[in-house]
Amino acid sequence: MIKAKINNVDVEVPEGTSILWAARKANFTIPTLCSHPDLVPGGQCGICVVEIEGIPGLKRACMTPLGEGWKVHTHTARLMEIRRQLVELILSYHDTDCLTCIKNNNCELQALAATLGINTVEWHSLEERLPIDRSSAAIVRDPNKCILCGRCTQVCSNMQTVNALAVNHRGYSTVITAAFDMGLGNSVCINCGQCVVHCPVGALYENSHIEKVWDAIHDPDKFVVVQEAPAVRVMLGEEFGMEPGTLVTGKMYAALRRIGFDAVLDTNFSADLTIIEEGTELVSRLKTGKNLPLITSCSPGWIKFMETFFHDMIPHMSTAKSPQQMFGALAKTYFAEQRGIAPEKIVSVSIMPCTAKKFECQRPEMRASGFQDVDFVLTTREIGRMLREAGIDLNEMPDEKADSLLGEYTGAATIFGTTGGVMEAALRSAYFLVAGRELESIDIAPVRGLKGIKEAEIDIDGLKVKVAVAHSGGQARRLMEKVQDQLRNEGKSEYHFIEVMACPGGCVGGGGQSWGSNMAKRARRGESLYAEDRSLQHRRSHENPSIKVLYEKFLGKPNSEKSHTLLHTHYYKRSTVDGDIIAEQ
Amino acid sequence: MNLVRNHVLISIDAGTIMAGARAVEKALIDEIAAQGLTAEISVLETGSIGATGQGVILVVYPEGVYYGNVTPQDIPELVEEHLLKGRPLKRLILSEIPVQHVIKKEKTGLLKEQPRIVLKNSGIINPENIDEYIAENGYEAIAKAITSMTPDEVIEETKKSGLVGRGGAAFTTGMKWDFARKAAGDIKYIVCNADEGEPGTFKDRLILEGDPHKLIEGMLIAGYAVGASKGFVYIRGEYALSIERLEKAIAQARQYGLLGDNILESTFSFDITVMKGAGAYVCGEETALIESLEGKRGHPRNKPPYPVTEGLWAKPTVVNNVETLANVPEIILHGASWFRGYGTEKCPGTKVFTIIGNVSTPGLIEVEMGTTLRDIIYEYAGGIKNGKKFKGALVGGAAGAFLGPDMLDVKMDFVNLKEYSAVLGSGAILVMDEDVDMLDMLKSVLHFFRHESCGHCVPCRLGTAQLVKIIDRISASKGKKDDIDKLLKIAQVMQATSFCPLGQSLYLPISSSLKYFGGEIHSRVR
Domains with residue ranges and CATH for chain B: 6-95 (3.40.30.10), 130-338 (3.40.50.11540), 350-433 (3.10.20.600), 438-522 (1.20.1440.230)
Taking residues A108-113, report their average pLDDT.
96
Residue from A497, A509, A495, A496 nearest A449 by CA: A509
Contact across the interface for A93 and B462, Cβ inside 8 Å: yes
Q: Please report the beta strands in A31-113, taking only residues with DSSP state E, as ranges in sequence order.
A: 49-52, 55-60, 71-73
pLDDT above 90: percentage of residues in chain A: 92
Q: Which helix (H) or strand (E) holds A501?
A: strand A497-501
pLDDT at position A302 is 98
CB B118 within 8 A of CB B296: no
Taking residues A373-389, report their average pLDDT.
98
Q: Is B301 on the interface with A (CB under 8 A)?
A: no
Contact across the interface for A173 and B280, Cβ inside 8 Å: no
**CB neighbours of residue B290 within 10 Å:** 27
Identify the weakest region by mean pLDDT among A88-97, A473-482, B87-96.
B87-96
Contact across the interface for B458 and A45, Cβ inside 8 Å: yes
pLDDT above 70: percentage of residues in chain B: 95
Instruction: Residue A65: list chain B partners with CB under 8 A.
Output: none
Contact across the interface for B455 and A171, Cβ inside 8 Å: yes
**CB neighbours of residue B501 within 10 Å:** 16
pLDDT per residue over A440-470, tens digit each? 888 888 999 999 899 999 988 888 999 999 9
Catalytic residues of A: 278, 281, 298, 318, 357, 360, 365, 507
Nearest chain B Cα to A167, which residue? B297
Angle between helices B140-148 and B322-334 (to 10 degrees): 60
Q: Is B303 on the interface with A (CB under 8 A)?
A: no
CB A311 within 8 A of CB A573: yes
pLDDT at position A519 is 93
Nearest chain B Cα to A65, which residue? B304
Contact across the interface for A89 and B462, Cβ inside 8 Å: yes
Nearest neighbour of A171 by CB, restricted to B453, B458, B486 = B453
Nearest chain B Cα to A148, which residue? B456
Residue from B207, B239, B203, B212 nearest B427 by CA: B203
User: Facing residues of B44 across strands?
Assistant: B9
CB A40 within 8 A of CB A32: no
| Cis peptide preceding B348, ω within 30 of 0 | no
pLDDT at position B50 is 67
Distance CA A462, CA A468 (A): 19
pLDDT (tens, 9 = 90+) of chain B, 526 residues, equals 457 788 898 988 777 888 889 999 999 999 999 988 888 888 888 877 767 778 898 888 877 788 989 999 999 999 998 988 888 888 888 765 544 333 333 333 223 345 788 888 887 889 999 999 999 999 999 999 999 999 999 999 999 999 999 988 889 999 999 999 999 999 999 999 999 988 888 899 989 999 999 999 999 999 999 999 999 999 999 899 999 999 999 999 999 999 999 999 999 999 999 999 998 999 999 999 999 999 999 999 998 899 999 999 999 999 999 999 999 999 999 999 999 999 999 999 999 999 999 998 888 889 999 999 999 999 888 899 999 999 999 999 998 999 999 999 999 999 999 999 899 988 999 999 999 999 999 999 999 999 999 999 999 999 999 999 999 999 999 999 899 999 999 999 999 999 999 999 999 999 999 999 999 999 999 8
CB-based contacts of B150, cutoff 8 Å, min separation 6: none
Distance CA A79, CA B146 (A): 52
pLDDT band at A575 (very low <50, low <70, confident <90, very high): very high
Largest CA distance in chain B: 77
pTM over 0.90: no
Residue from B501, B391, B510, B492 nearest B442 by CA: B510
Map A512-532 to HEC letters: CCCCCCCHHHHHHHHHHHHHH
Contact across the interface for A124 and B453, Cβ inside 8 Å: no
Contact across the interface for B464 and A172, Cβ inside 8 Å: yes
pLDDT per residue over B161-190, tens digit each? 999 999 888 899 999 999 999 999 999 999
pLDDT at position A41 is 94
Half-sphere exposure of residue A417: CA atoms within 13 angstroms, side-chain side: 37
Contact across the interface for B463 and A58, Cβ inside 8 Å: no
Contact across the interface for B452 and A171, Cβ inside 8 Å: yes
**CB neighbours of residue B47 within 10 Å:** 31
pLDDT at position A191 is 98
Mutation target vs B (from A170, A175, A201; most B CBs, 10 A cutoff): A170
Taking residues A74-95, report their average pLDDT.
96
pLDDT at position B97 is 53
CA dihedral B477, B480, B481, B483 (to 10 degrees): -100
pLDDT band at A414 (very low <50, low <70, confident <90, very high): very high
CB B214 within 8 A of CB B208: no
Distance from CA of B445 to the nearest CA of A (A): 15
Complete domains list, chain A, with CATH: 2-75 (3.10.20.740), 89-206 (3.30.70.20), 211-584 (3.40.50.1780)
Instruction: Residue B455: list chain A partners with CB under 8 A.
Output: 148, 167, 169-174
Q: What angle (nearest 5°) sits at the alpha carbon of residue A264, between those of residues A259 and A267?
A: 125
Nearest chain B Cα to A87, which residue? B458
pLDDT at position B95 is 64
Distance CA A543, CA A548 (A): 8
Mapped onto helix, strand or coil, the DSSP state of residue B394 is strand
Q: Please report the beta strands in B183-326, taking only residues with DSSP state E, as ranges in sequence order.
A: 189-194, 230-235, 271-276, 317-321
CB-based contacts of B267, cutoff 8 Å, min separation 6: none
Residue A27 pLDDT > 80:
yes
Nearest neighbour of B462 by CB, restricted to A92, A122, A169 = A92
pLDDT band at A188 (very low <50, low <70, confident <90, very high): very high
Residue A54: exposed, middle, or buried by beta-carbon count in 10 A (0-12, 13-18, 19+)?
Answer: exposed
Contact across the interface for A174 and B457, Cβ inside 8 Å: no
Distance CA A12, CA A15 (A): 9
Q: Which helix (H) or strand (E) holds A139?
A: strand A139-141
CB contacts < 8 A (A, B)? 98
Distance CA A480, CA A453 (A): 11
Distances (CA, A) of A221 to A215, A260, A343, A350, A373: 11, 13, 12, 19, 18
Residue A194 pLDDT > 60:
yes
pLDDT at position B105 is 34
Distance from CA of A53 to the nearest CA of B (A): 15
CB A255 within 8 A of CB A392: yes
Residue A238 pLDDT > 90:
yes
Q: Please report the beta strands in B282-335, taking only residues with DSSP state E, as ranges in sequence order.
A: 317-321
CB-based contacts of B311, cutoff 8 Å, min separation 6: B189, B191, B290, B317, B318, B319
pLDDT at position A36 is 94
> Per CB distance under 8 Å, which residues of A are interface residues toward B?
41-47, 49, 57-58, 60, 63, 82, 85-86, 89-90, 92-93, 122-124, 126, 147-148, 150, 166-167, 169-174
Distance from CA of B165 to the nearest CA of A (A): 21
Tell me if ipTM is over 0.85: yes
Residue A127 pLDDT > 80:
no
Residue from A480, A537, A475, A525 nearest A503 by CA: A475
pLDDT at position B279 is 86
Taking residues A293-301, report their average pLDDT.
96
